[in-house]
Structure 1
Amino acid sequence: MLRQPDLRAATATAPVLCVGAVLWDIVGRTPREMRLGSDQPGRIVRIPGGVALNIAMALRRAGLRAELLGAVGRDFEGDGLIAACAKLGLGTDHLYRSEDLATDTYMAIEGAGDLTAAIADVHSLEQAGDKILRPLADGTLGTADTPFAGVVALDGNLTETLLAEIAQSPLFAQADLRIAPASPGKAERLLPLLDHPRAVLYVNLEEAGLLCQAQFGTARDAAAALAARGAGRILVTDGGGETAEARDGDIICGRPPKVTVTRVTGAGDTFMAAHIAAELAGADRAAALERALAAAAAYVSGETAGA
């Protein structure tokens, strides 16, 4: 059985730790369909982003405290990003900042509500490695003997080596680990955490297939396959289709409300944050899933803040 911690007790005083990419999102968006070589009129925005930061922002909108652990350069872009996070009410005191590392960037192109292409430059996060985890070891947020016991939202942008170390680390032995791949291309990095007894994985249908080296027609099938591979708790989304949650072999499903999609970057992070917030508020499995799907639908439709 999955050892599920008491979330409300664990976070009564502790913030939710959001570990991973903290960067600038540059998103170009057009309502027109994009093809290879397309040149279309649209809008370009630059906003705070990255999986860890997106989750933190969504948690803060839900009224929760969020603390960032990641790497931000001591450069002009980094200073601006720290200032923007502070205005959003996010904790930045424990970010690792280096003179030698530039602030990371994500660039995406969206056309007609679909992601056309994206490039994630998270080299500084990868080079920083386990330095971003120092507050969990030096007594600031915990130690190996007294590990942090709240919710940790973990971003698959971390290196495969660091994720494997986290899977065995005493620093996370008491945490409620909520884990998201950064993209399908990085999904397999999460394999060492698949059967972690305190992990909850949030993946889409494509990412689930990569983790299982298989193709699935439905989220329910994907969730069942991941559970068979040892995942104690897994949520599999499928865009506007059915979402499935498997927990200790029991599967429940739900569908998001039908909306007009105006953006996609950050939708999965919003879903994950809303699900965490709902459970922290005491919602049961079905209600938490319903709230998360509603929040993600509102986000992609443009009804809530974001890129």
Structure 2
Amino acid sequence: MKNAPDILCIGSVLWDIIGRTPVHMAAGADVPGRITRLPGGVAMNIAMTLCRFGLRPALLSAVGRDAEGDELIAAAERLGLDCGHVYRSEDLPTDRYMAVEGANGLIAAIADAHSLEAAGDKILRPLTDGALGRPDAPWAGAVALDGNLTVGLLADIAAAPAFAAADLRIAPASPGKAERLLPLLPMANATIYVNLEEAGILCQRRFASATEAAEGLIARGARRVLVTDGGRKAADGAPDGVIAADPPPVLVTRVTGAGDTFMAAHIVAERRGLPRVESLAAALDAAAQYVSGDIGS
């Protein structure tokens, strides 16, 4: 394929509406702050970070043919993302995500990804219709996949020949959607990116550390896992062992999108041929810069 993208980012592409305040917040608090609207969604956040690292990502998602959708596609294209394979729906609105963040972290969030879920396997058509792959020649490059897809579609992906040759990198999108990844966990070509809470949900137990969680996921059948735990030690687990590293200490100014930045930076580091320990360190450095406000929008 001429001008093929470096990586496919499959999942949520939407508007992030984020309210941030520099003070601690509790339920029911009413405080001054800033409200922003930015292109977001797990797949979008990963793609934007990959683009900053010099890669050419293509988006596979669902975006409405409404004014918000036209504006979102235009914004993504200005950032250098390939939107030519995005499914544009006539009757589904563009999805949105709303979050409130205080000095004490994420207070609450609501993800409205119903259009992505309703679009179903329509977003995957480019992988079989010849645009990005065919049944006899599946996509053999990297894929970043998020858990905003339905349980049924994720289960179909686990068994689909269209994904059999891919370097599949998977994130659950949120703890509330972590269980959706269970069908993908044993895939031989999958690397799973989770936080400590999500790892516990997948294994139906509590873990005291990222290292313990990585060991638990490998024991459950995962081939490769990356587990983060905020400002505490993160771990990279594989059948041949678990390695761990501490993130750099920084002042946290935002949290939404940090996990997506970690995942994208790790993908880039491994594409450059860095060993596991250096790739983990590079991903932690990028996430630390992001939460401190030094990189990204």
Q: Name the CA distance, whole Å, in 1 between partners of 2:135 and 2:42.
A: 26
Shift of residue 34, structure 1, vs aligned partner:
1.0
Correspondent of 1:233 among 224, 227, 237: 224
Q: RMSD between aligned alpha carbons? A: 0.9
Q: Name the CA distance, whole Å, in 1 between partners of 2:133 and 2:4.
A: 14
The amino acid across from 1:25 in the alignment is: D
- 1:196 corresponds in structure 2 to 187
Correspondent of 1:303 among 284, 294, 297: 294
- 1:63 corresponds in structure 2 to 54
What is the SS of the residue equivalent to 2:232? coil
The amino acid across from 2:174 in the alignment is: S
- 1:157 corresponds in structure 2 to 148
Q: Name the CA distance, whole Å, in 1 between partners of 2:38 and 2:215.
A: 37
Q: Name the CA distance, whole Å, in 1 between partners of 2:240 and 2:23.
A: 42
What is the SS of the residue equivalent to 2:109? strand
- 1:9 corresponds in structure 2 to none
Per the normalisation by structure 1, the TM-score is 0.95
| Alignment check: 8 A CA contact 1:113 1:263 kept | no
- 1:178 corresponds in structure 2 to 169
The amino acid across from 1:260 in the alignment is: L
Bigger relative contact order (CA 8 A; separation at least 6): 1
Shift of residue 190, structure 1, vs aligned partner:
0.1
| Alignment check: 8 A CA contact 1:113 1:262 kept | no
Q: Name the CA distance, whole Å, in 2 between partners of 1:294 and 1:15.
A: 23
| Alignment check: 8 A CA contact 2:25 2:104 kept | no
| Alignment check: 8 A CA contact 2:254 2:291 kept | yes
Shift of residue 53, structure 1, vs aligned partner:
0.2
Correspondent of 1:22 among 5, 13, 26: 13
Count of equivalent residues:
295
Q: Deviations over 1:211-252 (max 9, x none)?
A: 000000000000001000000100100000000111124100
The amino acid across from 1:178 in the alignment is: R
The amino acid across from 1:182 in the alignment is: A
Shift of residue 145, structure 1, vs aligned partner:
1.4
Q: Name the CA distance, whole Å, in 1 between partners of 2:149 and 2:104.
A: 28
Shift of residue 15, structure 1, vs aligned partner:
1.9
Shift of residue 113, structure 1, vs aligned partner:
4.9
- 1:38 corresponds in structure 2 to 29
Q: Name the CA distance, whole Å, in 1 between partners of 2:200 and 2:276.
A: 24
What is the SS of the residue equivalent to 1:242? strand
Q: Name the CA distance, whole Å, in 1 between partners of 2:278 and 2:98.
A: 34
- Assess, with a 3 A threshold, how the Cα gap between structure 1 residues 208 and 223 changes in structure 2: closer, same or farther: same
Q: Name the CA distance, whole Å, in 1 between partners of 2:159 and 2:71.
A: 35
- 1:104 corresponds in structure 2 to 95
Per the normalisation by structure 2, the TM-score is 0.98
What is the SS of the residue equivalent to 1:44? strand
Correspondent of 2:126 among 108, 131, 135: 135
The amino acid across from 1:205 in the alignment is: L
- 1:283 corresponds in structure 2 to 274
Q: Name the CA distance, whole Å, in 2 between partners of 1:265 and 1:169.
A: 31
Which runs of no fewer than 5 residues in structure 2 stay unpaired? none
Identity fraction in percent: 65
| Alignment check: 8 A CA contact 2:62 2:86 kept | yes
Shift of residue 305, structure 1, vs aligned partner:
1.3
Q: Name the CA distance, whole Å, in 2 between partners of 1:277 and 1:111.
A: 30
| Alignment check: 8 A CA contact 2:5 2:58 kept | no
